[in-house]
Amino acid sequence: MFSTAHGDHLPSLVDLLLDAVFLVDSDGRIAYVSAACERMLGYTPQEMIGRELLEFLVPEDRERTVAEAGEVVAGRSRIGFENRYIHKDGRHVHLMWSARWSERERLRIGVARDVSELKHAEAIQRATYAISEAAHEAEDLDVLLREIHRIIATLVPLAGLALATCDRRTGQLAFSYQRDCHGNPLPLHEPVACDFCSKVICGGRPVYLRDGALGALSGDDEAWFAIPLIAQHETIGALVLQGDSGKDYTEKDRELLHYVAEQVAIAIDRAQLKAELLRAARYDELTGLPNRRFFNDRIKAVVARSMRNQARMALLYIDLDDFKQVNDSLGHASGDQLLQEVARRIQRCVRGTDTVARLGGDEFVVLLDDLHTPDDARGVADKIREAVSHPVDLGSCVLRTQASIGIAVYPDHGQEIDRILQYADMAMYEDKRNKTLQAM
């Protein structure tokens, strides 16, 4: 079939095949390649013949390709082996091979098919599934964003990733995620980066820049690719990718990223909505403090830890005196302002590890964890009374109010949650009665 020129007498119809035919000698050099190689890799047969096939391979695929060639030379015909080659324009091309060894001619005969489109479709499908699965399983938005970073890094060259999202209430843009390929913070200059993302969001189209055009973002000359994130016809942010050194994003990469960005936007939108619903279920809308449901979970954890560590904790039950009169005389808007200010003042009186919650109306509770002595709880209660008693400027008027506080200490006043709550409630009413008697 073959002449000494390896292929000089091959029928010319071989050049009509969509698949490329390669003849490779025992040293790994290309002895013949059909015309289809130019459609696949951009090189003419004359540019490839005489060169090692490995020269055209993506470096990461060379080792396993050498192993596969060894199997073919050993006489084991192979079908379906896949590897990646570097096109003349720099992009990667996925090829699927069928190959066998001709002992008489001392040649590997291989037929290569371009499966890049198939691999591209598979990548989109994998990314869609992976992002959907991450959105379902992630505990919170931060976990989801880390997983999205990992998924995108498997699809395109990536040195770093940042994500800017718009606050649902204020519309303000801020970076909720920024990491390099090692998981370290990406050193973005946030004012410049936010301005850049705002332009991408307003334009509604991806923006690709390099040659230092966005060097101010991180102090280097890498390429940047930003894609608006659009969910339910609303732009919720921008995905910003820092290209790997010396590697541009190909048209296929950008197409893939555009599709991935659509899935990312949907996943983030759902995660944000889930977080908002969770927050609404656990936090008081007016003051931003934990609500009764959150408090019930929290006191169980604090009492269990105190029991386990044989430590003290305290519950402060707080009620504002004559709050109903404020609502009746000044209206609920003034009453709401007063409650918000009281909440802020109580929070300033406790440690960051303590819990302040609003049970409803003008009732607040404070959980003091890991107390040294009951006197510590009394000291905090005195601070709260003093803070609450200061005048509150509501704009239209200035109010003065007082707080009645009941204290229950674990285990001194009870070891069960119901008993602790009951004791604190009774102590609060006793404090209120004492102030009434003093005023008479």
H or E, element range at 366: strand 363-371
Please tell me the predicted confidence (pLDDT) of residue 346. Answer: 95
For residues 237 and 335, state if they share a domain: no
9 vs 139, which has greater pLDDT?
Answer: 139
In the prediction, which pLDDT does 440 show?
Answer: 61
State how far the Cα of 265 lies from the Cα of 236, in Å rounded to an integer: 7
Are the C-beta atoms of residues 216 and 191 closer than 8 Å to each other? no
CATH of the domain at 326: 3.30.70.270
Those residues whose C-beta lies under 8 Å from the C-beta of residue 332, and which sit 6 or more positions away, are none
Identity of the amino acid at 188: L
Helix axis angle, 116-137 to 251-282, nearest 10°: 10
**Is pLDDT at 371 greater than 60 in this prediction?**
yes
Comparison of pLDDT for 410 and 440, the residue scoring more: 410
Among 226, 261, 281, give the residue marking a domain's end. 281
Residues 313 and 265 in one domain: no
Exposure on the CB side of residue 383, measured as CA atoms within 13 A: 15
CB within 8 Å of 439: residues ≥ 6 apart: none
Q: What is the pLDDT of residue 126?
A: 85
pLDDT at 127: 83
- Which of 266-300 are b and which e, b meaning 16 or more Cβ less than 10 Å from the residue's Cβ? bbbbebbeeeeeeeeebbbeebebbbeebbeebbe
Question: Of the ranges 109-118, 179-188, 369-378, which one carries the lowest mean pLDDT score?
Answer: 179-188
pLDDT per position as a tens digit, 246-292: 567 778 788 888 888 888 888 888 877 877 788 888 899 899 999 99
Query: For the chain, what is the mean pLDDT?
Result: 86
Same domain flag for 253 and 307 = no
User: Residue 171's domain spans which residues?
Assistant: 120-281
> Number of structural domains, the chain?
3
- Indicate the SS3 state at residue 343: helix
The pLDDT value recorded for residue 216 is 47
Residue 5 CA to chain centroid, in angstroms? Answer: 58
Check if the beta carbon of residue 385 is closer than 8 Å to that of residue 403: yes
Alpha-helix runs per DSSP H in 310-416: 323-330, 332-348, 374-389
Whether residues 139 and 276 fall in one domain: yes
Residue 248 domain flag:
yes
Q: In this structure, which long-range contacts are made by residues 217-221, counting pairs with CB atoms below 8 Å and at least 24 apart in sequence?
A: 217/188, 217/189, 217/192, 217/193, 218/160, 218/186, 218/187, 218/188, 218/189, 218/242, 219/187, 219/189
Query: Are residues 92 and 182 part of one domain?
Result: no
Does residue 86 sit in the same domain as residue 187?
no
129 token code pair: 């599934």
Find, among 276, 254, 257, the residue nearest to 165 by Cα.
276
Question: Mean pLDDT lowest for which of 36-45, 166-175, 339-348, 382-391?
Answer: 166-175
Query: What's the pLDDT at 44?
Result: 94
Using only C-alpha atoms, the chain has a radius of gyration, in whole angstroms, of 35
* 87: Cβ contacts below 8 Å, ≥ 6 apart: 40, 41, 42, 93
> Could you tell me if residue 298 is inside a domain?
yes
Amino acid at the residue 421: L
- Over 192-226, what HEC string results? HHHHHHHHHHHHCCCEEECCCCCHHHHCCCCCEEE
Look at residue 217 and tell me whether its pLDDT is greater than 60: no
Name the domain boundary from 246, 281, 316. Answer: 281
Question: Which pLDDT tens digit goes with each residue over 160-195?
Answer: 899 988 877 777 888 888 898 888 888 777 777 888
Q: Does 267 share its domain with 300?
A: no
Cα–Cα distance, 108 to 307 (Å, whole number): 75
Does residue 227 form part of some domain?
Answer: yes
Do 126 and 234 fall within a single domain? Answer: yes
Give me the mean pLDDT over the 201-218 stretch.
Answer: 67
Q: Residues near 438 by Cβ (< 8 Å), separated by ≥ 6?
A: none
Q: Is residue 286 part of a domain?
A: no
Residue 2 lies inside a defined structural domain of this protein: no
pLDDT in tens, 293-347: 999 999 999 999 999 999 999 999 999 988 888 877 788 888 899 999 999 999 9
